[in-house]
Structure formats: structure tokens, C-alpha cells
Amino acid sequence: MSDTSEIRIGRRTLTLHRPDKVLFPDDGITKADLVEHYRSVSRRMLPQLRERPLMMVRHPDGIDGEPLVQKNIPGHFPDWVHRAEVRRESGGTVTHVVCDDAATLVYLADQACVTPHRWLSRADRPDHPDRLVLDLDPSDGSGFEDVRWAAHRVCELLDGLGLPTLLMTTGSSGLHVVVPLDRQADFGTVRAFAGRVAGLLAERHPGRLTTEQRKAERKDRVYLDIQRNAYAQTAVAPYAVRALPGAPVATPIARRELDDPELHARRWTLATIG
């Protein structure tokens, strides 16, 4: 096993540490494979990350080991990695990584950051989100066909309000409906609106949709989760790899793809995303 190797990313030459280390034991996926994924998707992914605080989910011992969830940037990170110091709700501040370039994205992969999660706001106005997220989560008695149906109903309602929508498979179990915002409203206002949208949909379709947080009460309905719409909460970033067998990838999709019966939350993987 090689201890180090070098890779050129833009103007920077990065040293990769233990690139042959296997991070996904069942699939033989190594740190070098993770690095190559993030390098190859960087042009598509970076516009979704720039200027946003990140939370890192690192797996230094592979995905079967204990994950390391980090908000504060470690002291050993190089100076050229951008940072954002933001208010902590409990008091004080926390300094997050901000991924503004491909070199940073690759550096995070070398740190075994399998899954970056992004804030829904940017660092210059952290209290004012530019994204609203409705997380459509299947219950034990429902499947992804139900999630696809639910996404159509969410999009139809938001269409009627004149709001644009973006869609993304999560790489885990569900699907995100994302609404781009103009940063005029604060998190409290956005969360209240998301709650009204979810509540109205659950009232219209009580047999198929729910806002019930308790899993036992959801039965076979799709859960309309609005919990990510709050200060300092995060959502999985587009094109992020999930720490699951097969290395599924959170993938943006077009609305027409909701009609594809083969669509599911883990449709695309590190090996197939292209």
C-alpha cells in the first residue's frame, strides 16, 4: 500500500495520504476512488457549495468504522482552505470549512470526508437561507413509487405559487425538493412557510402524506420533513457520496425523471454517476 501520492488540481499540487486505503470494504472502493469522484464532479458540485459553511462526515476507518462528524475546521487544515466563522446558537462561534474550489474538495476527500453537508444559507448572511428543502422520506410501508408521486404533488403546489423547484435523489432513502430563495426572509419565516406547504399537502392527501415526526405514526405514508429549514442545519450536498454499501451518490434530476419507474434514491453510485 502506497503511503502517499500527488495530484495536480488547478494551481495546487496535493499530497494524498494512503490513497489505497479501502473505505468501502464490500465494494473495494479506496480513498483514491473517492478523490477521483470529487475531482470529476467538481465543476457540477462547486456551484452548490461555494460560500456555504460545510459540515464534514469523515470516515477515517472506512464506512464500517465510527464516523467523525465535524463542524469546526481542524487546526491542521492548510491556510488556503477557506473558512467561515458563524454564530453558534448556544453561544460563541464555530469556524466551518467553505469549499470554494476543486482543490479544497479533493483535500476533503483525502481527509476521508465521504459526505459533505451544506448549510442552506451562505456565510455572508447565515440567518437568511437561499434554499428551502422538503425532504420526502418513505415510511416502512411505502416505497420510492410513493416518493415519486409525492414529489409531483409538492411540485404542483409550488408551481401554483410561482416558485421554482429543483429535485435530487438523496443517495439514502428519499428525495429532496429544493426551492431557490432570494435571501429576503429569515429561517423562521422560511420554516413556517415550509410547514404550511407540508401541512396543506398532508391535509389534501391524508392517506399518502404525513407531517408526523414519530415513525410509528406515519404508517405507510411519505413523511414531508421540513426540519432542515433552520439556522445551522445542513442538507446533503448534490453529488455527495453516502457512506453506504455501493457508494450511492446524491444526484440532481429533472422533473421528467420522476416518471421513470426505475428511479430510486440510490439510482446513481460512485461507479455510475459519470
Residue 2 pLDDT: 60
Is residue 58 pLDDT above 90, yes or no? yes
- Three-state SS annotation for the chain: CCCEEEEEECCEEEEEECCCCEEECCCCEEHHHHHHHHHHCHHHHHHHCCCCEEEEEECCCCCCCCCEEECCCCCCCCCCCEEEEEECCCCCEEEEEECCCHHHHHHHHHCCEEEEEEECCCCCCCCCCCEEEEEEECCCCCCHHHHHHHHHHHHHHHHHCCCCCEEEECCCCCEEEEEECCCCCCHHHHHHHHHHHHHHHHHHCCCCEECCCCHHHHCCCEEEECCCCCCCCEEECCCCECCCCCCEECEEECHHHHHCCCCCCCCCECCCCC
Predicted confidence (pLDDT) per residue in 195-204, tens digit: 999 999 999 9
Residue 215 pLDDT: 87
Output the average pLDDT for the chain. 97
Residue 257 pLDDT: 98
Contact 143, 133 (CB under 8 A): no
Average pLDDT estimate for 211-227: 93
> Does 254 reside within a domain?
no
Same domain, 163 and 88: no
Same domain, 146 and 55: no
Same domain, 101 and 168: no
Is residue 190 pLDDT above 90, yes or no? yes
> Does 158 reside within a domain?
yes
Query: Where residue 161 falls among pLDDT bands split at 50, 70, 90?
Result: very high
For residue 215, the enclosing domain spans 131-225
Residue 37 pLDDT: 98
Where is the domain boundary, 96, 119, 142?
Answer: 119
> Does 203 reside within a domain?
yes
Predicted confidence (pLDDT) per residue in 120-142, tens digit: 999 999 999 999 999 999 998 88
Residue 223 pLDDT: 97
Where is the domain boundary, 87, 119, 151?
Answer: 119
**What is the total count of domains within the chain?**
2
CATH of the domain at 176: 3.30.70.3300
Same domain, 9 and 85: yes
Residue 216 pLDDT: 85
CATH of the domain at 88: 3.90.920.10
Same domain, 91 and 183: no
